[in-house]
Amino acid sequence: MSLLIRLFAVVSLLGVGLVHLVGWLDWARDAPVVGPMFLLNVVASVVLAIAVLVWRHWLVGLATLGFGAATLGAYVMSLTVGFFGVQEQFRTALEVWGVVTDGACILAGAMLLLPHQWRQRQV
């Protein structure tokens, strides 16, 4: 079960990275602040995906959950009050996939944390 959860986390993280890479190639590279943040998101998603595969520690689950929440939070800000001059409308398939992959990261991170909590109770 742990391997399936880890694979779910890896796919979710890489999905977030792919969404941001496509967004960067499509429009964000021309945005002065958001463009570099999109590239940072791509790199961070790959680094976290590798960490999920090789490091069996509760911090990886927390980082995955936090990464998904931070990315989703930034997107929600772009929908409402704007995010560094970017105002989104939630009209494209890429935006839908972004929300789906962010939510999947949050879920995967929580699932990675659960086994740790169960082990702590048994000790």
Task: Please state which of the ranges 10-24, 34-48, 106-120 shows the lowest mean pLDDT.
Answer: 106-120
Phi, psi torsion values for 82, nearest 5 degrees: 95, 155
Distance CA 13, CA 107 (A): 11
Q: What is the pLDDT of residues 75-92, one digit of tens each?
A: 988 888 878 777 777 788
CA distances (Å), origin 119, targets 64, 78, 123? 20, 39, 7
Residue 23 has pLDDT above 70, yes or no: yes
Look up the pTM and report it: 0.89
Distance CA 10, CA 63 (A): 12
Looking up tokens 């991170």 gives 109
Mean pLDDT value across residues 15-23: 96
Distance CA 96, CA 119 (A): 36
